[in-house]
Structure 1
């Protein structure tokens, strides 16, 4: 019987000094957005904006903006983004759309998850403090709804859960922070 030996080279890196290594922890912020089934004659998928605002009510991070993406005579759906009134006034009108990693197409009925690591550029600059997750939805031939879930962001985030229940355009919004 012939035994074949495979030698795999091993590379060892040594970091000398302090402060050069990244922290061993990583946190994740997970948002669940439920778009409910509506029993209406003319249904259109809602435009949805998800963002984090600070205690001063200024936008600290845009997490998602879902709107009509395909080409049409209405400017890729951006024409209707001002219907997301709070988001538009606080952040949307200053953005150059689409925003990489934030913009996306409208979503069908169901629960959709947004998972963002603390190393993601959207959260990388988020300082420790009290914040509010805000989810706003607006639908053509429909209504508009805004839900808020407060949370605390710390240098070493602690596990947290929160939720808010919509009444028309949004279902349940969930927030989970996992260290």
Structure 2
């Protein structure tokens, strides 16, 4: 079942039987910017509960190779993630932190051990992706979904400046 792109609330069924695991695939686009000074954006991806608290941080992409961990200084520019989960995190986060990505389309896959989807109670959730770029802007895209449900499902939304198309698929 494919849902058309929309910024409106989407209902995304997920597999949630205790014995069944769910793999989550997130595809996101970082648009090419025609600017004099371009820096790869820092990106955070997480699952948010209906009350907007963080259920699981999936990825934090930043300049992990910068000398003396200087890249960590700018992680707080992803303000929404930082306020909800980042300031309590110790960076780098094993299995979560990774390098920034260049402009283009990217896909990241997460198993149930990483997402915790198979352990989440019934209810409404959102996959959230936030991008912040030095000498640039900041943008947040939310893709809503509901637990429990059955089958393979896909949903998408789109950013306007720092993020392009964002889609998720659950198997």
Q: Normalised by the shorter chain, which TM-score bucket?
A: 0.7 to 0.9
In terms of fraction of residues, the more helix-rich structure is 2
The correspondence for 1:159, drawn from 145, 149, 152, is 152
**Structure 1 gaps, min length 5:** 1-21
Match of 1:147 in 2: 141
1:102 equivalent in alignment to 2:83: no
TM-score after normalising by structure 2: 0.83
1:79 equivalent in alignment to 2:83: no
Bigger relative CO (Cα 8 Å, ≥ 6 apart): 2
Q: Alpha-carbon deviation of 1:157?
A: 4.3
The correspondence for 1:31, drawn from 26, 29, 51, is 26
1:40 equivalent in alignment to 2:14: no
1:7-26 maps to which residues of 2 (within 5 A)?
23=19, 25-26=20-21
C-alpha offsets along residues 4-49 of structure 1, whole Å, 9 cap, x if unaligned?
xxxxxxxxxxxxxxxxxx83x4321111111111111110000000
TM-score after normalising by structure 1: 0.80
The correspondence for 1:171, drawn from 155, 160, 164, is 164
Q: Alpha-carbon deviation of 1:129?
A: 2.0
Structure 1 pair 157–96 and aligned structure 2 pair: CA distance change class (3 A) = farther
**Structure 2 gaps, min length 5:** 1-17
RMSD of aligned residue pairs (Cα, Å): 1.6
Match of 2:85 in 1: 91
Q: Equivalent residue of 1:76, what SS?
A: helix
Match of 1:12 in 2: none
Native 8 Å contact 1:157 1:177 kept in 2: no
C-alpha offsets along residues 90-146 of structure 1, whole Å, 9 cap, x if unaligned?
00000111111110010011111121122x143254233210011100000100000
The correspondence for 1:54, drawn from 49, 53, 61, is 49
Larger Rg: 1
